[in-house]
């Protein structure tokens, strides 16, 4: 896989924030590890990407999306659902367009809304971190220590148990977590 280089259209070389992961340097960091990315991104991390502003997109109909593509294969898209979502990806496209069902409060019924492929891929594959955080909170170790670092050790232990449990379930394990 070729190394992804930063694009002049999406970079802000005068910013001086080399240590902050953004659309500017994240693809380079991920391509070194042969990883692809799709995820939400904050609007202030877009640098010089000329997408429509959030206020203009909110004026459009639900399901409206705007996107820009860069030379380094990064696609940045904004989609209007209940709120405006900004997503960046280097491994999927905006097309094909899908129809999804959403509830409309004004009409008190479900309506059909357009959704780009990049949003659908993100929504189908999200949830791993959320599931991990939920299970760590549910099955937290209830041992209190007197040292300040004991909570860090306890959290790391809980996290390792959670990850091992998820790997066990992915291998079609049949043991009970409790």
What is d(CA 41, CA 25) in angstroms, rounded to the nearest whole number?
13
pTM of the complete model: 0.59
Rounded CA-CA distance 63/86 in Å is 13
Expressed as residue numbers, the domain containing 46 is 26-125
Residues of the chain under the 50 pLDDT cut: 1-21
Identify whether 134 is part of a domain: yes
Are both 65 and 137 inside the same structural domain?
no
Domain for residue 6, yes or no?
no
pLDDT value at residue 15: 39
Q: Are residues 156 and 101 in the same domain?
A: no
Which residues neighbour 120 within 8 Å (Cβ) at sequence distance 6 or greater? 98, 100
Whether 142 and 117 map to the same domain: the answer is no
Asked whether residue 7 is assigned to any structural domain, the reply reads: no
Q: What is the pLDDT of residue 16?
A: 39
Question: CB neighbours of 114 closer than 8 A, spacing ≥ 6?
Answer: 63, 64, 65, 97, 98, 99, 100
Q: Is residue 70 part of a domain?
A: yes
Pairing, β 109-115 against β 84-89? unpaired
């Amino acid at each position: 896989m070729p190394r992804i280089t930063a694009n002049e259209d999406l970079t802000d070389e005068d910013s001086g924030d080399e240590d902050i992961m953004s659309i500017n340097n994240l693809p380079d960091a991920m391509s070194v590890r042969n990883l692809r990315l799709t995820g939400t991104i904050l609007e202030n991390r877009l640098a010089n990407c000329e997408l429509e502003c959030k206020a203009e997109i909110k004026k459009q109909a639900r399901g409206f999306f705007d996107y820009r593509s860069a030379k380094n294969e990064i696609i940045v898209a904004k989609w209007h659902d209940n709120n405006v979502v900004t997503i960046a990806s280097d491994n999927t496209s905006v097309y094909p367009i899908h129809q999804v069902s959403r509830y409309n409060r004004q009409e008190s019924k479900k309506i059909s809304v357009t959704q780009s492929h990049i949003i659908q891929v993100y929504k189908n594959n999200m949830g791993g971190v959320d599931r991990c955080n939920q299970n760590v909170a549910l099955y937290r170790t209830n041992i209190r220590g007197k040292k300040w670092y004991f909570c860090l050790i306890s959290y790391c232990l809980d996290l390792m148990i959670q990850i091992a449990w998820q790997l066990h379930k992915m291998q079609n394990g049949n043991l009970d977590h409790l």
